[in-house]
Structure 1
Amino acid sequence: MAGTFRRNEINSIQNPYFTSRNSMYLAVVAAVIPNIPYIFLSLFVCPMRFFPILLYFLLAIISFHLNFFVFLILALAVFSFDLIFVLSGIFGLPPSLIVDSIKHLPTLNLFSFSGYMILAAFLVLVAWLYIAILAKKRDMFKKASLVPAFLAFCAVVSIDISFNPPTKLFASMFFPQPEEVTSATLQTGLDVPGRDGRKGHVLIVMVEGLGAISNPLHQNLLWEIFETEQVRSSFKVTSGTSPYYSSTTAAEARELCTHWGDHRDFRDQPAYDCLPARYRADGYETASFHAYWGSFFNRADWYPKLGFDTLYFRESVGKAGDGTLARTCGLTFKGLCDGDVANVVEAFLEHPTGKPKFAYWLTLNTHIPIEAGAATPRLDCETGGPFRDPTVCRLTEMWMDLLFRIRDIALNPDLKGLEILIVGDHHPPVWTRRGRNVFETGKVPWLHLKPLDAPSVDKFASVGAGSVP
């Protein structure tokens, strides 16, 4: 009996109906063609895509019985879902945030990075082939066997699982974030203005793409910049890590408002209980600094709701000063240069107004993809440097340049008593597995410079408003 079953199985596979040209053609269209771009992307980094692969297969099978326009709408919907799903996994953003961000695409310089253009053209070509072939050959495919298509579907799923195992990062996009919020501002006590009788200037720097590096020796390439006698004699230096979730605006909600969420949570109310508002209520002058447009993620609208008195964005900062701020840096996110914005931040802190100041600076230029030659060469990045990954190495060189500049601000004799917190927003979405493995999953680093001789609450009482130039 077993032998009979085996012979029937072999005969079924060898049946010309199952191995016909039409059947094989359908298998390629239903399971292979729409997944080719992501199979290629799996050589670098890509989330597991079981559901999009299944949807392509099922749509191909039922397309024979659908009106063309219904099929076209469904096909475009599946391709859109797949793209959003993959972008969510690569960039660590909730799918809903990807959709909400589409309206900001005109502000991006997408043509500056050839990789995006090539991938976009490839996706359009693949979508056209899938739709055109299924529409043109529908009568022929009605006579085809579904067995080869199903086997091809199983093969593609197997490849996807083998190359793209699920990770906590991808899973976290579809599950609620932890209820308890932990942030660098909480861990350092900066959430309470004027604590311990101290009331000096405060600077929080959120560094774009700065993830916690797993190897302590590699992380110390950054933090050792502050391990000098001059810094140690003026500051108590502490460091640690904090969990992160989602995007840069989620990091801003975490650090400034002790809230798991993102900018969409600050649309409805006129004001929120966040650090800038608390510091302003305690007599501080508050300001934010960012090298990109204030319209991006509507920061110009919701930053004032957090308690910022003054907003410095590309459109405002670029009009000030001696013309040096006309320079731009970056590729897709082309904005002002962080080094130039640092000068504006320092000038704001130096300018006497009779009040202590709370400054928040969100950096920009280390946004992936990064500009070639943007950093001071230090780590032999042509060969990958200590990370064995050129992109992570160049990012680290850019972070080092930034931290050296922050150290200069910290040691400015006119800013004695300045307290500084440096914290990352999220991991950099680098395009290699080795590069991603450099970072500790779900964590960003922070470094806190707490002045040893911080100014007392009375320091600014002696500086009247009349001292302003």
Structure 2
Amino acid sequence: GLFSLTLDSLVYSLQFFAEIKPSNSMEYIAAAVVIVGIWIGSWFLLKRDTNFAKPLHILLGGVLIFGLVGADSAVGAGMRGHYFRPAPVGATFESAINKSGFAARADGKRHLVLIMVESLGMPKDNQAMSDKLFAYYNDSMIKARYEVSQGSSLYYNSTTSGEVRELCGRWGDYYELLETDDPKVLDCLPAQLAKKGYATQAMHSFKAPFFKRATWYPKIGFQKREFAADLEQRGAEWCGGVFAGACDRHVPKMLAENLKQAKQPTFQYWLTLNTHLPVPTEQNLDTGNCEKVSVALARDYPMICRQFSIFDDIDKALIAEITASDFPEADILLVGDHMPPFFDRHHRSQFDPERVPWLYLKAKNSQPKG
């Protein structure tokens, strides 16, 4: 449920389970301990006489069970969000690509950079989070070089659905891309830009086989792909977590290198990784001292604070590259894939359950592309 897997998706995804490391998360370890405790307790308790002495006790037990389930469902109804849901038939389509006008800038005069940020949700009635979101881009060096705009977009389902939303301009998931050779279905933004003479490159900080991105990325038009092993070979450090891979904070330098070395206009896509839940306190993620990010978030929402610590590192590393004098002209769009699927209401209720934020940096001046 947390990772939006239907029964079919769960069975299909069993092949990927060897790629993740639940033992890197104290939350998963604690859950495992609780489950084992329930098994042990059940083994002994179920040996006891389980017959109710009176029919009234059966009725009371049923009322308590269904009453608690109903109350839990009612309380959580407003914060489940679209992370669990496919788009309904006829749902109005939205994407950051469309709303920002990003794709319309593909005239061969500049590079285009799309960054999908794992679990970047839209703050809801939380001033500390709203103040932190995209705060580093309110900078004189950024504003001197880019027109800055931001907004929010509707989302449905999980990360791969977010990728299909932004890259292919429709609601859907990656299964349909694996199972078809229909050029209409595969005519996504990378393929469209390749037809216009753009080099198309994708980067992802996790492993290539996961969700078969190594298979469907080229099908939708990505000519070059770099995954965790490639990024680490280029100098990225390893960062831990349940989804351990390359450290996102080291990728902006490589992204910039790709564009500086480009011989033609380039579409560079990057899907980040390290803010995938649950976010541990260390494992080279620079999340151990969260008070430096926000005292309020560290006190009241520690895992959100750890996420923002990683967002901060990504933003600072990216800004250092895109404001450098030798960084070629490029439009840059950052967008979240889905709200972070926190299990507890305390954290989950801090996010808009239906929308994700985006930030668009539109290049002002004409500069050499490579």
TM-score under structure 1 length normalisation: 0.69
- Say if 1:331 and 1:132 are closer, same or farther in 2 by CA, change over 3 A: same
Amino acid at match of 2:215: D
Offset at 1:200? 0.7
Offset at 1:179? 2.7
Q: In the alignment, is residue 247 of structure 1 matched against residue 161 of structure 2? A: no
Tell me the residue number matched to 1:313: 227
199-208 vs 111-120, greater mean Cα deviation: 111-120
Tell me the residue number matched to 1:69: none
**1:12-56 superposed Cα distances (whole Å, 9 cap, x missing partner):** xxxxxxxxxxxxxxxxxxxxxxxxxxxxxxxxxxxxxxxxxxxxx
Tell me the residue number matched to 1:44: none
Q: Secondary structure at the match of 2:268?
A: strand
Q: Give the helix-richer structure, 1 or 2.
A: 1
Distance 2:292 2:252 in 1: 26
Amino acid at match of 1:261: G
Tell me the residue number matched to 2:345: 433
User: Is contact 1:330–1:370 with CA below 8 Å preserved after alignment?
Assistant: no
Aligned mate of 1:329, from 217, 231, 239:
239
Q: Secondary structure at the match of 2:225?
A: strand
User: Is contact 1:239–1:446 with CA below 8 Å preserved after alignment?
Assistant: yes
State the aligned residue count: 360
Tell me the residue number matched to 2:355: 443
- Say if 1:388 and 1:126 are closer, same or farther in 2 by CA, change over 3 A: closer
- Say if 1:274 and 1:192 are closer, same or farther in 2 by CA, change over 3 A: farther
User: Is contact 2:335–2:359 with CA below 8 Å preserved after alignment?
Assistant: yes
Q: Secondary structure at the match of 1:269?
A: coil
Aligned mate of 1:186, from 68, 84, 98:
98
Aligned mate of 2:140, from 229, 238, 257:
229
Distance 2:297 2:30 in 1: 28
Offset at 1:113? 1.6
151-160 vs 180-189, greater mean Cα deviation: 151-160
Q: Secondary structure at the match of 1:232?
A: helix
Amino acid at match of 2:28: Y
Structure 2 residue runs without a partner (length 5+): none
- Say if 1:301 and 1:150 are closer, same or farther in 2 by CA, change over 3 A: farther
User: Is contact 1:92–1:169 with CA below 8 Å preserved after alignment?
Assistant: no
Tell me the residue number matched to 2:175: 264
Offset at 1:416? 3.3
Tell me the residue number matched to 2:276: 367
- Say if 1:440 and 1:382 are closer, same or farther in 2 by CA, change over 3 A: closer
- Say if 1:284 and 1:159 are closer, same or farther in 2 by CA, change over 3 A: same
- Say if 1:191 and 1:100 are closer, same or farther in 2 by CA, change over 3 A: farther
Aligned mate of 1:285, from 174, 199, 203:
199
Offset at 1:314? 1.4
User: Is contact 1:384–1:390 with CA below 8 Å preserved after alignment?
Assistant: no
Offset at 1:125? 4.9
Distance 1:252 1:243 in 2: 13
- Say if 1:250 and 1:387 are closer, same or farther in 2 by CA, change over 3 A: farther
Tell me the residue number matched to 2:130: 219
- Say if 1:383 and 1:262 are closer, same or farther in 2 by CA, change over 3 A: same
- Say if 1:414 and 1:274 are closer, same or farther in 2 by CA, change over 3 A: same
Higher RCO (CA 8 Å, separation ≥ 6 residues): 2
Offset at 1:430? 2.6
- Say if 1:109 and 1:175 are closer, same or farther in 2 by CA, change over 3 A: closer
- Say if 1:222 and 1:185 are closer, same or farther in 2 by CA, change over 3 A: same
1:11-26 to structure 2, matched below 5 A, reads none
Offset at 1:222? 2.8
User: Is contact 2:110–2:331 with CA below 8 Å preserved after alignment?
Assistant: yes
Q: Secondary structure at the match of 2:171?
A: coil
Distance 1:174 1:258 in 2: 18
User: Is contact 1:418–1:454 with CA below 8 Å preserved after alignment?
Assistant: no
Q: Give the strand-richer structure, 1 or 2.
A: 2
- Say if 1:408 and 1:118 are closer, same or farther in 2 by CA, change over 3 A: same
Tell me the residue number matched to 2:248: 338
Tell me the residue number matched to 1:405: 317
Structure number with greater Rg is 1
Distance 2:54 2:210 in 1: 51
User: Is contact 2:108–2:265 with CA below 8 Å preserved after alignment?
Assistant: no
Tell me the residue number matched to 1:299: 213
Q: Secondary structure at the match of 1:286?
A: strand
User: Is contact 1:368–1:430 with CA below 8 Å preserved after alignment?
Assistant: yes
Q: In the alignment, is residue 347 of structure 1 matched against residue 257 of structure 2? A: yes
Offset at 1:107? 0.6
Offset at 1:215? 4.0
TM-score under structure 2 length normalisation: 0.87
Distance 2:43 2:11 in 1: 23
Q: Secondary structure at the match of 2:147?
A: strand
Tell me the residue number matched to 1:80: none
Distance 2:52 2:347 in 1: 48
Distance 2:363 2:230 in 1: 31
Offset at 1:381? 6.3
Distance 1:429 1:249 in 2: 15
Amino acid at match of 1:230: M
- Say if 1:273 and 1:166 are closer, same or farther in 2 by CA, change over 3 A: same
